[in-house]
């Protein structure tokens, strides 16, 4: 009877271990499947949805990846599972780069529109051919007003873009002056430039300093 009990006990223990192993394998397989499915689902979103919700997408992605990698050792075919994870990682890297590029393009376009109006209407090729002797004063005025109203929200990259646009506008002014720009408008523009230039230089320098300090703190 003792031998029979020992045999039955061993059988139950083995069955329990097998069950646990199967459960672990099933969990691991499910985690890898969920990881792949999640990336597929993100790829299927509209660009606007991706950009608007990227922080949440990234957080959930890291959770799914961690779950898949934490349980992969429970799989018999670990090599195949790792290949699936690596392939999906690469897909996500490419997806993230694409979203980042499109988000930057959208940010630049929105910033440009805030200074000059509809990019489709005025063009954004840095030549500013639409600026002429009749509207150049209003363009400068809008530029200065927009900066005054929004400079506290700008990143260092935003300041760099604004600087490039301002220099391009100044270059266009040199041409417009030869096309009959009135002395009155020219003097008013000079006043706006005198007001804008020192404040822009200060705010841009401050933004760069703040960003460098934040990067330093993050690295510590």
Above 60 in pLDDT, residue 3?
no
CA distance 171 to 164: 11
Domain match, 158 and 213 both: yes
Q: Is residue 120 part of a domain?
A: no
Above 60 in pLDDT, residue 216?
no
Q: Which residues of 72-101 are buried (b: 16+ CB within 10 A; e: fewer)?
A: bebbeeeeebeebbeebbeebeebbeebee
Domain match, 130 and 198 both: yes
- The region of weakest confidence among 12-21, 68-77, 180-189 is 12-21
CA distance 164 to 144: 14
How much of the chain exceeds pLDDT 70, in percent?
A: 84
Contacts of 129 (CB under 8 A, 6+ apart): 123, 172
Domain match, 23 and 63 both: yes
pLDDT band at 124 (very low <50, low <70, confident <90, very high): low
CA distance 52 to 112: 20
Domain match, 7 and 100 both: yes
Cβ 18 vs Cβ 76: under 8 Å: no
Q: Is residue 174 part of a domain?
A: yes
pLDDT band at 217 (very low <50, low <70, confident <90, very high): low
Cβ 116 vs Cβ 139: under 8 Å: yes
Domain match, 154 and 78 both: no
pLDDT digits (tens, 9 = 90+) for 52-71: 999 999 999 999 999 999 98
Q: Is residue 6 part of a domain?
A: yes
pLDDT digits (tens, 9 = 90+) for 150-200: 999 999 999 999 999 999 999 999 999 999 999 999 999 999 999 999 999
Domain match, 39 and 12 both: yes
Domain span at 161: 125-219
How many structural domains are present in the chain? Answer: 2
Please tell me the total number of residues recorded for the chain in this structure: 220
Domain termination residue (choose one: 58, 73, 107): 107
Domain match, 100 and 143 both: no
Domain match, 99 and 60 both: yes
The residue ranking higher by pLDDT, 7 or 123, is: 123
- The region of weakest confidence among 33-37, 136-140, 201-205 is 201-205
Domain match, 68 and 134 both: no
Q: Is residue 117 part of a domain?
A: no
pLDDT band at 18 (very low <50, low <70, confident <90, very high): very low
CA distance 155 to 72: 41
Domain termination residue (choose one: 107, 140, 158): 107
Q: Is residue 76 part of a domain?
A: yes
The token pair that represents 68 in the structure block: 């898949």
Q: Is residue 115 part of a domain?
A: no
Domain match, 37 and 131 both: no
What is the arithmetic mean of pLDDT over 45-52? 94
Q: Is residue 113 part of a domain?
A: no
Q: Is residue 96 part of a domain?
A: yes
Beta strands in the chain (DSSP E): none
Domain match, 103 and 152 both: no
Above 90 in pLDDT, residue 14?
no
Q: What is the pLDDT of residue 10?
A: 44
For the chain, the farthest-separated pair of C-alpha atoms sits apart, in whole angstroms, at 115
Cβ 159 vs Cβ 207: under 8 Å: yes
The token pair that represents 74 in the structure block: 């429970």
Domain match, 21 and 76 both: yes
Q: What is the pLDDT of residue 24?
A: 85
Above 50 in pLDDT, residue 17?
no
The token pair that represents 83 in the structure block: 């290949």
CA distance 207 to 213: 10
Mean pLDDT of the chain: 86
CA dihedral 192, 123, 150, 101 (to 10 degrees): -140
The token pair that represents 184 in the structure block: 């009155």
Residue with tokens 């200065």: 144
């Amino acid at each position: 009877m003792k031998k029979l009990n020992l045999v039955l006990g061993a059988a139950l223990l083995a069955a329990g271990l097998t069950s646990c192993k199967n459960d672990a394998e099933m969990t691991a397989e499910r985690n890898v499947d969920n990881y792949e499915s999640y990336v597929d689902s993100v790829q299927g979103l509209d660009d606007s949805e991706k950009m608007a919700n990227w922080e949440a997408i990234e957080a959930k992605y890291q959770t799914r990846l961690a779950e898949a990698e934490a349980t992969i050792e429970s799989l018999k075919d670990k090599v195949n599972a790792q290949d699936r994870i690596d392939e999906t990682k690469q897909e996500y890297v490419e997806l993230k780069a694409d979203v980042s590029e499109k988000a930057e393009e959208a940010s630049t376009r929105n910033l440009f529109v805030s200074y000059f109006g509809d990019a489709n209407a005025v063009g954004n090729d840095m030549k500013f051919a639409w600026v002429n002797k009749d509207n150049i004063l209003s363009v400068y005025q809008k530029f200065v007003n927009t900066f005054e109203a929004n400079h506290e929200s700008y990143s260092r990259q935003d300041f760099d873009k604004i600087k490039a646009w301002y220099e391009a506008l100044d270059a266009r002014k040199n041409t417009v002056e030869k096309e009959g720009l009135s002395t009155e408008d020219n003097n008013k523009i000079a006043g706006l430039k005198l007001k804008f230039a020192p404040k822009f230089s200060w705010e841009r320098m401050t933004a760069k300093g703040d960003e460098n300090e934040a990067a330093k703190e993050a690295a510590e």
